[in-house]
Amino acid sequence: MSEVYDIIVVGGGPAGLSAGIYGARSRLKTVILQKGTLGGQAATTAELENYPGFPRGTTGPGLTEAMAEHAMSFGTEIINEEVVKLELDGNIKTARTKGGGEYSSKIIILAPGAAPRTLNVKGEQELRGKGVSYCATCDADFFEELDVVVVGNGDAAIEEAIYLTKFAETVTIIVIHDEGVLDCNKVSAEKA
């Protein structure tokens, strides 16, 4: 038997949590179906300096915790289940989860978020968690007084590199951009 909601949100990052807040605050029975870490990629970001309402910045985990608490204060349910199938035909939509859950609603909001981009180079997967990391916040302590290389060119890569300077002996940024330029906001580029 399917659990029936007014709104189903697929994804528990900042966009999904925002949808949960607005849905539940409107007194609509709202559920967020989240695979993995609540807060998504934002939850693994050490310092967020560009999020509205935080002029002095905040942390990813702090933002995630506050947003989840806010959503739940209005009655949003947050369930840690991976959606594997959506049935979108007809007036009633259904989300089926890997664990066998079935959730139905007239409205499904997709907020799947982001995932780290891999380089697909030899040894990358074998060394994941053994020197190859996609989360400076999670793993910075492991790089204490070591020489670190960050590969990327956007805001996330530059902000992670800046954060790592608090731990690593040196941080080198390898820019992967067709024109060899940093493709990030000017504030981060100046700090880098």
- Burial tier of 136 (Cβ tally within 10 Å: 0-12, 13-18, 19+): buried
* Residue position matching structure tokens 């947050």: 78
Cα atoms in the Cβ-side hemisphere of radius 13 Å centred on 11: 17
CB 18 within 8 A of CB 26: no
Catalytic positions, written as ranges? 135, 138-139
Q: Provide the CA 165 distance to its chain's centre, in angstroms.
A: 22
